[in-house]
Structure 1
């Protein structure tokens, strides 16, 4: 469980180490503003959580000479590799074989040891956990760790300060670290709405079941939103703060990604287009005068199909 206090502490800890990403004011398809977090170090919001996790582990004495290990569809691994390189810590990243070649290439460029195993995130996760048990390395969970989620939530603090406030924020959901951080940061101030592909609906099904449950994973965003089960932190924060989950089809993700390029020359990956897809598909329909923020959370993609 995390609260606003955890997010505030994370903001202090990582201050000066992350980019203060810009906000674009818009009036299109129901959106009022875009938080351009795809411009963050490593191309996603995950740099915030990774830096917060490793710095907090160093402060507490949890960090060992064996370095850090994580499992990822790609983006969390890139973030951990970046944070580890910045802090002089060895990093070993486990990713499924379906991870985008662009993401795997970036991991190598950052100096991480990369291990590709399994066809889904869950298989890479199990291999990473075994490596931690065998090596004594510090585990950086890609989403279900308080420091990871609180670090991600710092973007919501920035967004609120930059805009003077809003009514609703739309956030893509995979394992739920970003959602948990944002919802905790904005609790009592604004609504947080999660958006998931129909082929990776871990939060949606957890809320319906009253507990996290395993779900099948497929679709164009599976490399980034491919968690088989939503994190416990995300589930508890979502239930506490009244988050709801909206579902969009793969075709909606593709169309929203194209819309962002055609209208704004903004390049994002399919997973990051999920929040925008809630608006362009009509899954979320703002009320009159409602101020709606859309978090564009990642851009680690091959843009060749956009031009």
Structure 2
């Protein structure tokens, strides 16, 4: 039998290459140059006796052998990293040198990431937080270890995902200071529906609970602008006569009344019933007992609970 020296770095590289399907993407994740990643792929091809990734148009696609190996390689790479990671018994938070990838909505990134970063860096100045966008509720990045923590609405189809309630949120109306809608004390459903509206929607979908409630009254909003995120809707409402609906959390925790002023905007209660929704933290169960991950979860929860106390 021939002894073969195995470079475990190749296993990690193969895992990332198969996940990314791109030499450039894999190089970025591993902090390597594209040429170094290309040389690693050449070594992997020689070691496995398979091309692994082949050209298809401008991209790369996995060979049948690579597709067959993907899940097994990912599990092995994860196990190797877990074995070689130092076991934390008495955790000194201030000395932690870890990187966490957190998937959040654009609204959370704009309005709550600052307090979270301040709390984390104050206690653990060597921690690196990497925020990535949340285009959908797919649980695959949590399952595959591509992200460590997700914050937002529940909706994943993966029953094993752990969750922790953070705070209740609800929709509120916003309009520029001095908007005609706000000249009278009462914002009625009729006056609200008569306004022109800007809608925040990633996919352009226009149906919302408020539209169903207005329809029961024989009313309909006139959507004039559709934007991908709530910060964009607030920006347009601030500079026009359009009104917007945004989560209460988008206003920070500076509100002092029903008609509070936030950066040139005034808020008002939506004049039809709209349901509250829960914002939660989500993670894969393999991270449940990890002390550093548990500390991060507790820190995020403390920040959110301070900003939005449970009613």
TM-score, length basis structure 2: 0.26
More strand by share: 2
The structure having more radius of gyration, on CA atoms, is: 2
Q: TM-score, normalised by structure 1?
A: 0.26
